[in-house]
Amino acid sequence: MSTHADTHEHHHEPGLQHQFEDMKQQEESVSIGMWMFLVQEIMFFGGLFTAYLVFRSKYPMAFAAGSNHLDVVMGFVNTLVLIVSSLTMALTVYYAQKGNRNMQVILILLTMFFGTVFLGIKAVEYTDKYNHGVVPVTGLNRVVKAPSGSGESNLEFEQTYAGLSSSEPAKPASGEHEYVNPKGEFQWHEFELIEHTVKEQEENPSAHLLTDNEKIAYFSNDKFDQNKFRDKVRIFFFIYFVMTGLHALHMIVGLGLMTWLLWKAWKNTFSAEYYMPVEMSGLYWHFVDIVWIFLFPLLYLLGRHFIHS
Protein backbone atom coordinates (compact mmCIF):
# COMPACT_ATOMS: atom_id res chain seq x y z
CA MET A 1 0.00 0.00 0.00
CA SER A 2 2.45 2.54 1.12
CA THR A 3 5.60 0.73 0.18
CA HIS A 4 8.09 2.11 -2.24
CA ALA A 5 9.92 -0.24 -4.43
CA ASP A 6 12.82 1.98 -5.17
CA THR A 7 14.08 3.11 -1.78
CA HIS A 8 15.62 0.90 0.81
CA GLU A 9 16.99 3.72 2.93
CA HIS A 10 14.58 3.33 5.76
CA HIS A 11 16.60 1.99 8.62
CA HIS A 12 17.02 5.23 10.48
CA GLU A 13 13.65 5.41 12.13
CA PRO A 14 13.43 4.14 15.70
CA GLY A 15 11.33 1.08 16.34
CA LEU A 16 10.78 0.23 12.71
CA GLN A 17 10.59 -3.51 12.21
CA HIS A 18 12.24 -5.26 9.33
CA GLN A 19 9.12 -6.34 7.50
CA PHE A 20 7.84 -2.81 7.06
CA GLU A 21 8.90 -0.20 4.58
CA ASP A 22 8.18 2.82 6.71
CA MET A 23 6.69 4.01 9.96
CA LYS A 24 3.32 4.77 8.48
CA GLN A 25 2.90 1.19 7.34
CA GLN A 26 3.94 -0.09 10.71
CA GLU A 27 1.56 2.17 12.58
CA GLU A 28 -1.29 1.23 10.34
CA SER A 29 -0.56 -2.44 10.86
CA VAL A 30 -0.32 -2.18 14.61
CA SER A 31 -3.48 -0.14 14.81
CA ILE A 32 -5.52 -2.54 12.69
CA GLY A 33 -4.09 -5.42 14.64
CA MET A 34 -5.16 -3.85 17.91
CA TRP A 35 -8.64 -3.17 16.64
CA MET A 36 -9.00 -6.74 15.42
CA PHE A 37 -7.90 -7.84 18.85
CA LEU A 38 -10.59 -5.69 20.41
CA VAL A 39 -13.19 -7.15 18.06
CA GLN A 40 -12.11 -10.53 19.31
CA GLU A 41 -12.46 -9.33 22.89
CA ILE A 42 -15.92 -8.02 22.26
CA MET A 43 -17.04 -11.40 20.97
CA PHE A 44 -15.37 -13.07 23.92
CA PHE A 45 -17.39 -11.03 26.40
CA GLY A 46 -20.33 -11.35 24.03
CA GLY A 47 -20.78 -15.02 24.87
CA LEU A 48 -21.20 -14.07 28.52
CA PHE A 49 -23.61 -11.29 27.69
CA THR A 50 -25.67 -13.81 25.74
CA ALA A 51 -25.80 -16.07 28.75
CA TYR A 52 -26.79 -13.08 30.86
CA LEU A 53 -29.52 -12.18 28.42
CA VAL A 54 -30.95 -15.68 28.31
CA PHE A 55 -31.04 -16.17 32.04
CA ARG A 56 -32.24 -12.72 32.82
CA SER A 57 -35.16 -13.18 30.46
CA LYS A 58 -35.87 -16.54 32.04
CA TYR A 59 -35.60 -15.52 35.70
CA PRO A 60 -36.05 -11.75 35.98
CA MET A 61 -37.13 -11.78 39.61
CA ALA A 62 -34.22 -13.90 40.72
CA PHE A 63 -31.87 -11.60 38.88
CA ALA A 64 -33.45 -8.57 40.48
CA ALA A 65 -33.08 -10.17 43.88
CA GLY A 66 -29.44 -10.99 43.28
CA SER A 67 -28.75 -7.58 41.87
CA ASN A 68 -30.33 -5.82 44.82
CA HIS A 69 -27.93 -7.66 47.05
CA LEU A 70 -24.92 -6.07 45.36
CA ASP A 71 -23.51 -2.91 46.82
CA VAL A 72 -24.60 -0.12 44.47
CA VAL A 73 -22.51 2.49 46.12
CA MET A 74 -19.35 0.52 45.54
CA GLY A 75 -20.37 -0.18 41.99
CA PHE A 76 -21.15 3.46 41.47
CA VAL A 77 -17.88 4.66 42.93
CA ASN A 78 -16.03 2.09 40.91
CA THR A 79 -17.64 3.32 37.73
CA LEU A 80 -16.47 6.82 38.52
CA VAL A 81 -13.00 5.58 39.35
CA LEU A 82 -12.76 3.82 36.02
CA ILE A 83 -13.99 6.85 34.16
CA VAL A 84 -11.35 8.98 35.82
CA SER A 85 -8.72 6.44 34.90
CA SER A 86 -9.96 6.58 31.34
CA LEU A 87 -9.52 10.32 31.38
CA THR A 88 -5.99 10.06 32.70
CA MET A 89 -5.25 7.42 30.10
CA ALA A 90 -6.58 9.62 27.32
CA LEU A 91 -4.43 12.46 28.59
CA THR A 92 -1.42 10.18 28.70
CA VAL A 93 -1.81 9.65 24.99
CA TYR A 94 -2.25 13.36 24.54
CA TYR A 95 0.99 14.14 26.31
CA ALA A 96 2.84 11.30 24.64
CA GLN A 97 1.97 12.90 21.33
CA LYS A 98 3.39 16.12 22.70
CA GLY A 99 6.48 14.29 23.91
CA ASN A 100 5.99 15.59 27.46
CA ARG A 101 7.77 13.03 29.57
CA ASN A 102 6.86 14.29 33.04
CA MET A 103 3.18 14.56 32.37
CA GLN A 104 3.21 11.09 30.83
CA VAL A 105 4.81 9.60 33.87
CA ILE A 106 2.45 11.36 36.24
CA LEU A 107 -0.61 10.40 34.26
CA ILE A 108 0.41 6.79 33.86
CA LEU A 109 0.96 6.62 37.59
CA LEU A 110 -2.46 8.14 38.14
CA THR A 111 -4.05 5.67 35.74
CA MET A 112 -2.40 2.83 37.57
CA PHE A 113 -3.50 4.29 40.87
CA PHE A 114 -7.13 4.42 39.82
CA GLY A 115 -6.91 0.98 38.29
CA THR A 116 -5.63 -0.33 41.58
CA VAL A 117 -8.34 1.48 43.52
CA PHE A 118 -10.87 -0.17 41.27
CA LEU A 119 -9.44 -3.58 41.97
CA GLY A 120 -9.26 -2.79 45.66
CA ILE A 121 -12.92 -1.90 45.81
CA LYS A 122 -13.71 -5.02 43.84
CA ALA A 123 -11.74 -7.03 46.37
CA VAL A 124 -13.74 -5.50 49.21
CA GLU A 125 -16.93 -6.41 47.40
CA TYR A 126 -15.74 -9.95 46.79
CA THR A 127 -14.82 -10.35 50.44
CA ASP A 128 -18.24 -9.14 51.36
CA LYS A 129 -19.81 -11.73 49.10
CA TYR A 130 -17.59 -14.33 50.68
CA ASN A 131 -18.75 -13.34 54.13
CA HIS A 132 -22.38 -13.31 53.11
CA GLY A 133 -22.07 -16.71 51.55
CA VAL A 134 -23.22 -15.73 48.09
CA VAL A 135 -20.26 -17.03 46.15
CA PRO A 136 -21.97 -19.62 43.96
CA VAL A 137 -19.28 -22.23 44.47
CA THR A 138 -19.47 -24.56 47.41
CA GLY A 139 -16.42 -24.22 49.56
CA LEU A 140 -15.55 -20.69 48.53
CA ASN A 141 -17.78 -19.10 51.13
CA ARG A 142 -16.99 -18.39 54.71
CA VAL A 143 -17.60 -21.40 56.86
CA VAL A 144 -19.96 -20.56 59.66
CA LYS A 145 -19.99 -22.82 62.66
CA ALA A 146 -23.24 -23.92 64.15
CA PRO A 147 -24.18 -22.15 67.37
CA SER A 148 -22.49 -23.93 70.23
CA GLY A 149 -24.42 -26.72 71.82
CA SER A 150 -25.76 -28.18 68.62
CA GLY A 151 -24.86 -31.72 67.88
CA GLU A 152 -22.67 -33.02 65.09
CA SER A 153 -25.33 -34.71 63.02
CA ASN A 154 -26.15 -33.32 59.63
CA LEU A 155 -29.79 -33.45 60.49
CA GLU A 156 -29.42 -30.83 63.12
CA PHE A 157 -27.45 -28.60 60.84
CA GLU A 158 -30.15 -28.84 58.32
CA GLN A 159 -32.84 -28.05 60.80
CA THR A 160 -31.13 -24.93 61.98
CA TYR A 161 -30.49 -24.03 58.41
CA ALA A 162 -34.07 -24.58 57.32
CA GLY A 163 -35.43 -22.67 60.26
CA LEU A 164 -33.31 -19.71 59.44
CA SER A 165 -33.83 -19.61 55.76
CA SER A 166 -37.59 -19.57 55.90
CA SER A 167 -37.88 -16.99 58.63
CA GLU A 168 -37.55 -13.23 58.26
CA PRO A 169 -34.15 -12.08 57.02
CA ALA A 170 -31.47 -13.23 59.36
CA LYS A 171 -30.92 -10.68 62.08
CA PRO A 172 -27.54 -9.08 62.09
CA ALA A 173 -25.72 -10.15 65.19
CA SER A 174 -22.51 -8.28 65.79
CA GLY A 175 -22.37 -7.30 62.14
CA GLU A 176 -22.76 -10.80 60.83
CA HIS A 177 -25.61 -12.94 59.78
CA GLU A 178 -26.22 -15.74 62.15
CA TYR A 179 -26.53 -18.68 59.88
CA VAL A 180 -25.06 -22.07 59.74
CA ASN A 181 -22.94 -22.92 56.82
CA PRO A 182 -20.64 -25.76 57.58
CA LYS A 183 -19.44 -26.41 54.03
CA GLY A 184 -19.26 -22.89 52.72
CA GLU A 185 -22.26 -23.38 50.51
CA PHE A 186 -24.19 -20.75 48.66
CA GLN A 187 -26.65 -19.01 50.95
CA TRP A 188 -29.75 -17.02 50.19
CA HIS A 189 -32.31 -15.82 52.66
CA GLU A 190 -33.90 -12.80 51.08
CA PHE A 191 -37.29 -13.87 49.91
CA GLU A 192 -39.55 -10.96 50.91
CA LEU A 193 -39.62 -9.36 47.51
CA ILE A 194 -40.28 -12.52 45.59
CA GLU A 195 -42.76 -13.87 48.13
CA HIS A 196 -44.56 -10.59 48.04
CA THR A 197 -44.65 -10.71 44.26
CA VAL A 198 -45.86 -14.28 44.29
CA LYS A 199 -48.65 -13.33 46.60
CA GLU A 200 -49.70 -10.42 44.46
CA GLN A 201 -49.57 -12.57 41.40
CA GLU A 202 -51.77 -15.16 43.03
CA GLU A 203 -54.26 -12.57 44.14
CA ASN A 204 -54.33 -11.04 40.73
CA PRO A 205 -53.72 -13.84 38.22
CA SER A 206 -54.14 -11.59 35.20
CA ALA A 207 -51.20 -9.40 36.19
CA HIS A 208 -47.85 -10.08 34.58
CA LEU A 209 -45.68 -9.91 37.62
CA LEU A 210 -44.03 -13.23 36.98
CA THR A 211 -43.23 -14.57 33.55
CA ASP A 212 -44.73 -17.86 32.43
CA ASN A 213 -41.37 -19.42 32.81
CA GLU A 214 -40.97 -18.18 36.35
CA LYS A 215 -44.38 -19.51 37.29
CA ILE A 216 -42.86 -22.93 36.75
CA ALA A 217 -39.27 -22.37 37.67
CA TYR A 218 -39.76 -21.12 41.21
CA PHE A 219 -42.51 -23.53 42.19
CA SER A 220 -42.80 -27.08 43.37
CA ASN A 221 -46.25 -28.59 43.39
CA ASP A 222 -47.81 -25.18 42.87
CA LYS A 223 -46.14 -23.71 45.91
CA PHE A 224 -43.32 -21.24 45.96
CA ASP A 225 -40.10 -23.14 46.60
CA GLN A 226 -37.26 -21.25 48.20
CA ASN A 227 -34.71 -23.79 47.12
CA LYS A 228 -35.65 -23.45 43.51
CA PHE A 229 -35.54 -19.70 43.77
CA ARG A 230 -32.17 -19.89 45.44
CA ASP A 231 -30.78 -21.89 42.52
CA LYS A 232 -31.77 -19.13 40.13
CA VAL A 233 -30.22 -16.43 42.28
CA ARG A 234 -27.12 -18.53 42.31
CA ILE A 235 -27.01 -18.36 38.53
CA PHE A 236 -27.10 -14.58 38.80
CA PHE A 237 -24.14 -14.63 41.13
CA PHE A 238 -22.31 -17.02 38.91
CA ILE A 239 -22.70 -14.67 35.97
CA TYR A 240 -21.78 -11.77 38.20
CA PHE A 241 -18.57 -13.43 39.28
CA VAL A 242 -17.53 -14.63 35.87
CA MET A 243 -18.18 -11.29 34.23
CA THR A 244 -16.62 -9.10 36.87
CA GLY A 245 -13.85 -11.63 37.40
CA LEU A 246 -12.96 -11.66 33.74
CA HIS A 247 -13.16 -7.90 33.72
CA ALA A 248 -10.84 -7.71 36.70
CA LEU A 249 -8.46 -10.05 34.94
CA HIS A 250 -8.39 -7.64 32.04
CA MET A 251 -7.67 -4.82 34.46
CA ILE A 252 -4.73 -6.73 35.84
CA VAL A 253 -3.36 -7.30 32.35
CA GLY A 254 -3.92 -3.59 31.76
CA LEU A 255 -1.90 -2.73 34.85
CA GLY A 256 0.89 -4.90 33.50
CA LEU A 257 0.78 -2.96 30.26
CA MET A 258 0.87 0.28 32.22
CA THR A 259 3.95 -0.80 34.11
CA TRP A 260 5.68 -1.45 30.84
CA LEU A 261 4.53 1.92 29.49
CA LEU A 262 5.74 3.62 32.62
CA TRP A 263 9.17 2.19 32.07
CA LYS A 264 9.19 3.31 28.45
CA ALA A 265 7.86 6.75 29.30
CA TRP A 266 10.41 7.09 32.03
CA LYS A 267 13.13 6.51 29.47
CA ASN A 268 11.45 9.18 27.38
CA THR A 269 10.83 6.85 24.45
CA PHE A 270 7.74 8.52 23.13
CA SER A 271 7.49 11.50 20.90
CA ALA A 272 5.23 13.06 18.33
CA GLU A 273 6.68 10.56 15.83
CA TYR A 274 6.55 7.46 17.96
CA TYR A 275 3.73 7.02 20.42
CA MET A 276 2.00 3.90 19.10
CA PRO A 277 2.51 1.80 22.24
CA VAL A 278 0.79 4.45 24.36
CA GLU A 279 -2.05 4.83 21.94
CA MET A 280 -2.55 1.08 21.67
CA SER A 281 -2.47 0.52 25.42
CA GLY A 282 -4.96 3.33 25.65
CA LEU A 283 -7.32 1.54 23.29
CA TYR A 284 -7.14 -1.52 25.46
CA TRP A 285 -7.70 0.43 28.65
CA HIS A 286 -10.72 2.24 27.25
CA PHE A 287 -12.15 -1.01 26.02
CA VAL A 288 -11.99 -2.45 29.50
CA ASP A 289 -13.69 0.68 30.73
CA ILE A 290 -16.49 0.25 28.20
CA VAL A 291 -17.14 -3.28 29.38
CA TRP A 292 -17.62 -1.93 32.86
CA ILE A 293 -19.93 0.81 31.61
CA PHE A 294 -22.27 -2.01 30.61
CA LEU A 295 -21.66 -4.24 33.58
CA PHE A 296 -22.61 -1.56 36.05
CA PRO A 297 -26.26 -1.09 35.01
CA LEU A 298 -26.72 -4.70 33.99
CA LEU A 299 -25.46 -6.19 37.22
CA TYR A 300 -25.95 -3.56 39.92
CA LEU A 301 -28.99 -1.61 38.86
CA LEU A 302 -31.31 -4.03 37.18
CA GLY A 303 -33.80 -4.54 39.95
CA ARG A 304 -33.43 -1.44 42.04
CA HIS A 305 -36.78 0.00 41.13
CA PHE A 306 -38.59 -2.97 42.61
CA ILE A 307 -37.44 -2.01 46.06
CA HIS A 308 -38.75 1.49 45.71
CA SER A 309 -42.13 0.65 44.32
Partner 1 sequence: MQTQDAIIPGSAPEPKLNYLTNGSTLRSWLLTKDHKRIAIMYLITVSLFFMMGGMYAAAIRLELLTPASDLLQSGTYNKVFTQHGILMIFFFLIPSIPAILGNFLIPLMIGAKDLALPRVNLLSLYIYWIGGALTLWALMQGGVDTGWTFYAPYSTTFSNTYVMAVGLGIFINGFSSILTGLNFIVTIHTMRAPGMTWFRLPLFVWAHYATSLVMILGTPVVAITILLLALERVAHIGIFDPTVGGDPILFQHLFWFYSHPAVYIMILPGMGVISELISSFSRKKIFGYEFIAFSSIAIAVFGFLVWGHHMFVSGQSIYAGLVFSFLTMVVAVPSAIKVFNWTATLYKGSISYDTPMLYALGFLGLFLIGGLTGLFLGSVGLTVHLTDTYFIVAHFHYVMVGGQVIAYLGGIHYWWPKITGRMYSEFWGKISAMLVFVGFNLTFFPQFILGYQGMPRRYASYPEEFQVLNIFSTAGASVLGVGLIMPVIYLTHSLIFGKKAGDNPWILPGLEWRTSSPPPTENFEVMPVVTWEAYDFSDENGLDIDEIKRQQAELATA
Partner 2 sequence: MQNTSWVPLFPDQASTFAWQVDALYFYLIAISVFFTVGIVAAVFFFAIKYRAKEKYETPDEIHGSMVLETVWSIIPFIISMTIFLGGAIIYFQQYTSPPEGMEIYVVGKQWMWKIQHETGQREINELHIPVGTKIKLTMTTEDVIHDFFVPAFRTKADVVPGRYTYMWFEATEVGKFHLFCAEYCGLNHSGMGGWVYVMSKDDFEQWLSGNTAGQTPVEAGKDLFQNKLGCASCHAGGPQQRGAKLEGLFNSDVKLVGGQTVKADEQYIRNSILNPASQVVEGFQPIMPTFKGQVTEEQLNALVAYIKSLSPGAAGSSPGGAAPGAPAMTNTNAAAANKPAPAKPAAKPAANSNK
Partner 3 sequence: MENHNEQQHEHMNIPKYVGVFLVLVVGTILTYVVALQDLDWIFPGANTLLALGIALTKMTFVMLFFMHVYWSPKLVWLAAAGSFFWLAIMFAFTMQDYLTRGSGVFGH
93: phi then psi, degrees, rounded to nearest 5: -60, -45
- Scan residues 62-81 and list those touching partner 3 (CB under 8 A): 72, 76, 79-80
Does position 211 bind partner 1 by CB under 8 A?
no
Residue type at 118 in one-letter notation: F
**Could you report how far apart the first and last alpha carbons of the chain are, in Å?**
61
Q: Which is nearer to partner 3, 91 or 180 (CB)?
A: 91
Question: Which DSSP category does 11 fall into?
Answer: T
Name residues whose C-beta falls within 8 Å of residue 138's C-beta, 6 or more positions apart in sequence: 183, 184, 185, 186
What Rg, from alpha-carbon coordinates, does the chain have?
26
* Separation between Cα atoms, residue 203 and residue 290, nearest integer Å: 43
Does position 261 bind partner 2 by CB under 8 A?
no
* Separation between Cα atoms, residue 267 and residue 292, nearest integer Å: 32
Whole-angstrom CA distances from 299 to 2, 68, 134, 293, 307 are: 46, 9, 15, 11, 15
Decide which of partner 2, partner 3, partner 1, none touches 48; Cβ closer than 5 to 8 Å per partner kind. partner 1
Please pick, from the candidates 73, 137, 252, 253, the single residue that binds partner 1 as defined by CB under 8 A: 137
Residue type at 15 in one-letter notation: G
Stretch that binds partner 3, among 111-119, 131-139, 174-182, 282-290 (CB under 8 A): 282-290
- Summary count for the chain: helices (H), strands (E): 10, 4
- Scan residues 2-21 and list those touching partner 1 (CB under 8 A): 2-5, 17-21
- Scan residues 44-83 and list those touching partner 2 (CB under 8 A): none
Stretch that binds partner 3, among 140-148, 157-165, 215-223, 277-285 (CB under 8 A): 277-285
267: phi then psi, degrees, rounded to nearest 5: -80, 5
Nearest-approach distance from CB 225 to partner 2, in angstroms: 10
Residue type at 172 in one-letter notation: P
Residues that bind partner 3 (CB under 8 A): 31-32, 35-36, 38-39, 42-43, 46-47, 49-50, 53-54, 57-58, 72, 76, 79-80, 83-84, 86-87, 89-91, 94, 208, 212, 279, 282-283, 286-287, 289-290, 293-294, 296-298, 301-302, 304-306, 308-309
**Which chain residues interact with partner 1 by CB under 8 A?**
1-5, 17-21, 25, 28-29, 32-33, 36-37, 39-41, 43-48, 50-51, 54-55, 58-59, 136-138, 217, 228, 231-232, 234-235, 238-239, 242
